[in-house]
Structure 1
Amino acid sequence: MAAVVLVHGLYHRSAHFVVLAERLRSDGIEVAVPELHRGSLAADTAAVQAVIDTFPESPIVLGHSYGGSVITGVRGVAHLVYLAAFVLDAGESAAGLGGASQQLMDAIVAEPDGSTTLDPDLAVDTLYSGCPEPLAARAVELLRAQAPGCGRGVPQHHSWKETPSTYVICAQDRAIDPVLQRTMASRCTSVREWQTGHSPFVGQPDLIVHLLRELLTTRIPTRRNQEVTSPR
C-alpha cells in the first residue's frame, strides 16, 4: 500500500494535519503523522525514523517548516517533500539560517519555564494568512508550547543528497522568508511554487493532496533495504 508520513513544525501538533490525512486515507493511502516535541532535533528525527521503519516499502515523507530539519536526517525514504521547510546542509541549523521572519519573532512569547509560545492574535496572520477564519482560529487553538533548542539542532545525515526531493515554496509566507525558501529549494530535485501562506495544509489541503498523489503515481515502489538515489 502507498504510504505517506507527515511531519509537522514547531509549535504544531499532529492534529494540524487531520484534514489532510483524512483526504489521503480516503484515497487508500496509508498515512502516519508522528508527534514531535521530543526535546531536541535528534530526538524528533529518531521518532520519525521509527515510524518510517514500520513500513515494508519506503514512504514519501513530507516535512513542514522545522519538519524539514527533521526529515533531512532520516533514511529509507522514497521521496522527500519540503513544504516551506528547512533543507539543511552540513553544519547548518534552522536558526543559523535566520529561519524565522521578524513577524514570527514578534509573535514568540517567552514563558517562565524557558519554553516559548505564540501570541494567538499574531499567530493567525503569521502562520495562517489566507486561510478561512474558522480554520485559522482552530489551528491557533491547537498550537502548543515549544521547548528551547530544537531550531538550533544540526542534522547528522542529509537525506536530500541521496533521495529524490520536491520543494514547495509558499510565496506569500510570512513566517519563513520566500527568498530563503528559494535558496533552500535549489538543493532539491524539483521545485513548485504556490501562492499561499505558511500553512496550506490548513487553508488549501487539496494542493498537497494533488502533489502527493502525483508523486505516488510516478514513483517506483522501493523496499526499505534498497538504496534510493536521486536522478540528478
Structure 2
Amino acid sequence: MTAVVLVHGLYHRPEHFALVAEQLRTAGTDVLVPELHRGSLLADTAAVQAVVDALEEPPIVLGHSYGGSVITGVCGARHLVYLAAFVPDVGESAAGLGGASSQLQDAISPGPDGSTSLHPDRAAATLFDDCPEPLAAWAVDLLRPQAPGCGRGVPERHSWKHAPATYVVCAQDRAIDPRMQRTMAARCTDVREWQTGHSPFVGQPGLIFELLQELLATDASRMP
C-alpha cells in the first residue's frame, strides 16, 4: 500500500498536519510526518530521505512552504505534492526564489542566538488568517523557533524533474505570493488552485485529504 509522507515548513511542527493525518489514517492510509528543525536544508532532507527509504513502496510525499525545498532533494517518491511550496531548480533556494512575503517578514522576530520566531498575532494573521479562531490559536501555539539559514539552502537533487508532481496554489496566501506560486507551479506536471490561505491543513484539511485520496486511487489503478 502506498504511504503518504507529510513535510512541514519553517516554524511548523509535525502536529500541524494532525487533522489531515487523522483523516488519512481513518481511511486506512499509512501516514508519516517527520520532524524537521535539524539545522540545515541538507539535514532536513536527510531526515525525510530516511523515512522514505524505510518504506517498502515509494510514497506520495507532500511538502508545504519550505518543505518544498526539502522534498525537492528527496529521491524515491512515487508522486510529489507541493502545497504553497518552493520548487527550486539547480542553484536555487527558497530565499532566492523570493522567500517570505513582506507581511511574513514583518512577523519574524530575531532571537539572541541567531534563531528567529514569529510574533503570535502577526503569525495568526499571516499563516492562519482564513482558519476558525480556535484552530488558528491552536496552530500558533504549536509554532517553534527556527534555526537560521535553512531557507537559503540549495537542494542537491531536483526530484520534480524525475517524478510526477502536483502543485497546489493557495490563491489567498499572505505568506508566499500566489503569483510566485504560479510561476513555480509551471515546473510541475499538474496544477491545482484553491481559494485558501497559506495553511489549508489547519483550516480546510478535507481539501488535502481529498487530493491525496485522488492521487492514492490513481496510483492504485496503475499498479499491476
- TM-score higher than 0.5: yes
1:111-190 to 2 correspondences below 5 Å = 111-190=111-190
Identity, % of aligned pairs? 74
Equivalent AA in structure 1 for residue 126 of structure 2: T
| Contact 1:7-1:33 within 8 A present in 2 as well | yes
In the alignment, the residues of structure 1 paired with residue 138 and residue 8 of structure 2 have an alpha-carbon distance, to the nearest angstrom, of 16
Give the match for residue 68 of structure 1. 68
Q: CA deviation at 1:110?
A: 0.4
SS of the aligned residue for 2:214 comes to: helix
SS of the aligned residue for 2:211 comes to: helix
In the alignment, the residues of structure 2 paired with residue 32 and residue 7 of structure 1 have an alpha-carbon distance, to the nearest angstrom, of 9
Equivalent AA in structure 1 for residue 217 of structure 2: T
| Contact 1:185-1:191 within 8 A present in 2 as well | yes
Q: CA deviation at 1:222?
A: 9.0
In the alignment, the residues of structure 2 paired with residue 89 and residue 221 of structure 1 have an alpha-carbon distance, to the nearest angstrom, of 31
CA RMSD of aligned residues (A): 1.2
Question: Given the two structures, how large is their TM-score scaled by the length of structure 1?
Answer: 0.94
| Contact 1:60-1:80 within 8 A present in 2 as well | yes
SS of the aligned residue for 1:6 comes to: strand
In the alignment, the residues of structure 1 paired with residue 222 and residue 63 of structure 2 have an alpha-carbon distance, to the nearest angstrom, of 20
Equivalent AA in structure 1 for residue 157 of structure 2: H
| Contact 1:58-1:222 within 8 A present in 2 as well | no
In the alignment, the residues of structure 2 paired with residue 130 and residue 110 of structure 1 have an alpha-carbon distance, to the nearest angstrom, of 26
SS of the aligned residue for 1:219 comes to: helix
In the alignment, the residues of structure 2 paired with residue 157 and residue 87 of structure 1 have an alpha-carbon distance, to the nearest angstrom, of 11
Give the match for residue 52 of structure 2. 52
In the alignment, the residues of structure 2 paired with residue 222 and residue 32 of structure 1 have an alpha-carbon distance, to the nearest angstrom, of 23
- Counting matched residue pairs gives 223
Question: Given the two structures, how large is their TM-score scaled by the length of structure 2?
Answer: 0.98
Give the match for residue 199 of structure 2. 199
Question: Compared with structure 1, are the counterparts of its residues 87 and 155 closer, same or farther at alpha carbon in structure 2 (3 Å cutoff)?
Answer: same
Structure 1 residues not aligned, in runs of 5+: 224-232
| Contact 1:58-1:221 within 8 A present in 2 as well | no
Structure 1 residues 98-126: Cα deviation after superposition (integer angstroms, max 9, x where no partner): 11000000000001111000000000010
Q: CA deviation at 1:220?
A: 4.9
In the alignment, the residues of structure 2 paired with residue 154 and residue 135 of structure 1 have an alpha-carbon distance, to the nearest angstrom, of 33
Equivalent AA in structure 2 for residue 28 of structure 1: G
Give the match for residue 26 of structure 1. 26
In the alignment, the residues of structure 1 paired with residue 107 and residue 121 of structure 2 have an alpha-carbon distance, to the nearest angstrom, of 8
SS of the aligned residue for 2:96 comes to: coil
| Contact 1:169-1:192 within 8 A present in 2 as well | yes
In the alignment, the residues of structure 1 paired with residue 80 and residue 4 of structure 2 have an alpha-carbon distance, to the nearest angstrom, of 10
In the alignment, the residues of structure 2 paired with residue 81 and residue 64 of structure 1 have an alpha-carbon distance, to the nearest angstrom, of 8
In the alignment, the residues of structure 2 paired with residue 99 and residue 178 of structure 1 have an alpha-carbon distance, to the nearest angstrom, of 12
